[in-house]
Structure 1
Amino acid sequence: MALADELKALREFRCEEGKCVLSVYLNTDRADSEQQKGEWKIRLKNGLKRHEEYLEASENKDQLKSFRKLRKKVENEVNGNQSQLQKSVVIFASDVDDLWSVHYMQLPVETSFHWDEAPVLDQLTKLQQDFPKSGIVLPNMDEVKILETDLGEIQDTRIYSFDPDTGNWNYKQGMGAEDKIMSGATHTDKYDQRFQENLNRFYKDMAGNIERMKQDRNWEALYLVGEADPVNTLESQLRVPVDKSVKKNLNNVDTSKVLEHVFN
């Protein structure tokens, strides 16, 4: 389940008999000058060790036993999935109700560890304010891809392909968040010429779809990503503001790289 969808349940989660929730915010951003050599490994180990030492000193055997179990689970999760690391990892874990929420995020966080009666959500609340539900549109010659994001995570992907016989945009099934954005252009020079001549009209129809999605799906921000000509043409047809345009062809990169260019 997407982290944005879990937030409501996490806000309501609370232990009735003392501290039982481990909240982990771990910065793994390799672009950070302090992360060039995998320093997150040391911070993860030391942060969890420090909390375990506090519990040992408190002589609360039940909490110590629970914490040690969760610590091992968290360390195994992160160390075993290093290939998935992006800019941060956020984890909420508890023996109560088997709470286990893990998210590898494209947004940076400040490394911190918490052992409390409830999940510590301050950083996520701030991130949701800064990175609300948004639409990222990648216009191409005969395809337009739309990524819906919340908290920097992809919630949905929609692909519209242009049918030269009918002059309409047709929706086709999207792809996974980790898939590459691949161009499907296999058209002829004659088709290219027809599309270029009618670009404004074709994109006007697509602009209407985007405007409806923005309203129906409550997007608070809209981004365009692609080569200058299709981005500029589509933006000129939109009757809603564009928050940011990235004039770069990202059709053959992982979607995580698209998010990186948009949110950096």
Structure 2
Amino acid sequence: MLLTEKLNQIKRAQVQKPDKVFTLYLNTDRRDPDRQHGEWKIQLKNGFRNFEDYLKESGNKEEQENFEKVKEKVQDEIDTIEKDLKRGLVIIASSDDQIWFVERTQVPVTTNLYWEEEPQLDQLEQLSNDYPNTGIILVHYDYVRILETELGFLTKSEEYAWDPDEDNWRIYEGTTGSENTPGNGSTAQRELFEDRVKANRERWYKSMASKLDKKSKNRDWEKIYVAGEKEEAEELSKLMNKETEIVGKNYADKRDDEVLELLVS
């Protein structure tokens, strides 16, 4: 499900009193000088304590119990994913359990905690404007990796390799690997490989371009990057029916999160 669809579900959810919704935006960016030593943990702890103190003073025991229930669920989730946190974290949880939304962001957010009758979506909606649905296409000889992002989040990553036996692109499962890349083998082998790629590249890329145009339409990509060696990126981009931004750099050896940091954040 697209993240925008998840947000629409959250907006449609009706939480009835005395139930409430906890909304958390947490800046966990270790590149931020103020957050290199886990300062976000202190901010989260203090935020929880402030709500607990307020609710204790209010004397509303049912609301206190609802908050403690949500707090425990949120804390358990954070404990589980702590090692995989990126630059930000968004959690939205209702005390009646009908809302549960967790996303680790590749872009920074401003730390805020809310306990309200409705979810607080301003930051998510701003992310939607700043970071539209984006397709990132990494091309390198007979290998293509496709990353999809929404609201600055990585939503999907898949890899394709050209199968000469099937004469078609197939989902990459690691069987072609580095042994098929031009950086390995003798000089003669590399030259033969490169000549073969050049001779067939337009036909291969035309087939891939058709797949990419279809994905772009189905996934509502508002922006498309094509990255790789300039000649390859330009050729694939030219064969697509969508407007693209060409990045003349080879990111094939970069992790997904590294690519997003370089191109999206």
- 1:94-173 equivalences under 5 Å are 94-97=94-97, 99-164=99-164, 168-172=167-171
Cα drift, residue 200 of structure 1: 4.0
Cα drift, residue 128 of structure 1: 1.6
Distance 2:172 2:2 in 1: 19
Cα drift, residue 149 of structure 1: 2.3
TM-score (norm 1): 0.84
Equivalent residue in structure 1 for 2:244, among 242, 245, 251: 242
- Tell me whether 1:199 sits opposite 2:201 in the alignment: yes
Distance 1:183 1:121 in 2: 44
What letter matches 1:35 in structure 2?
R
Cα drift, residue 8 of structure 1: 1.8
1:9 corresponds in structure 2 to 9
Q: 2:19, 2:96 within 8 Å by CA — same for their partners in 1?
A: no
Larger mean CA deviation between 16-25 and 203-212 belongs to 203-212
Query: Tell me, which stretches of 5 or more residues in structure 2 are unaligned?
Result: 183-188
| Residues 1:204 and 1:124: Cα distance change in structure 2 (over 3 Å) | same
What letter matches 1:213 in structure 2?
K
Q: 1:134, 1:221 within 8 Å by CA — same for their partners in 2?
A: yes
Distance 1:79 1:69 in 2: 16
| Residues 1:174 and 1:234: Cα distance change in structure 2 (over 3 Å) | same
Q: 1:246, 1:262 within 8 Å by CA — same for their partners in 2?
A: no
What letter matches 2:216 in structure 1?
K
| Residues 1:183 and 1:52: Cα distance change in structure 2 (over 3 Å) | farther
Cα drift, residue 201 of structure 1: 4.5
2:48 corresponds in structure 1 to 48
| Residues 1:19 and 1:136: Cα distance change in structure 2 (over 3 Å) | same
Q: 2:139, 2:252 within 8 Å by CA — same for their partners in 1?
A: no
Distance 1:174 1:129 in 2: 35
Distance 2:202 2:32 in 1: 42
Q: 2:13, 2:98 within 8 Å by CA — same for their partners in 1?
A: no
Distance 1:68 1:47 in 2: 13
1:252 corresponds in structure 2 to 253
Distance 2:169 2:29 in 1: 38
What letter matches 1:223 in structure 2?
Y
1:263 corresponds in structure 2 to 264
| Residues 1:81 and 1:157: Cα distance change in structure 2 (over 3 Å) | closer
| Residues 1:44 and 1:184: Cα distance change in structure 2 (over 3 Å) | farther
Larger mean CA deviation between 113-122 and 28-37 belongs to 28-37
What letter matches 1:34 in structure 2?
D
- After superposition, give the CA deviation of every residue in 1:76-116 in whole Å (9 maximum; x if it has no partner): 32244321110111111223135332221212211111111
Distance 1:53 1:2 in 2: 37
1:62 corresponds in structure 2 to 62
Identity rate of aligned residues, in percent? 36
Cα drift, residue 184 of structure 1: 7.0
Cα drift, residue 17 of structure 1: 1.3
What letter matches 1:259 in structure 2?
L
| Residues 1:214 and 1:101: Cα distance change in structure 2 (over 3 Å) | closer
Cα drift, residue 143 of structure 1: 1.2
Larger mean CA deviation between 186-195 and 78-87 belongs to 186-195
| Residues 1:72 and 1:209: Cα distance change in structure 2 (over 3 Å) | closer
| Residues 1:174 and 1:255: Cα distance change in structure 2 (over 3 Å) | farther
| Residues 1:36 and 1:157: Cα distance change in structure 2 (over 3 Å) | closer
Compute the RMSD of aligned alpha carbons: 2.6
**Secondary structure of the residue that 1:148 maps to in structure 2?**
strand
Query: Tell me, which stretches of 5 or more residues in structure 1 are unaligned?
Result: 176-181
**Secondary structure of the residue that 1:24 maps to in structure 2?**
strand
Cα drift, residue 11 of structure 1: 0.6
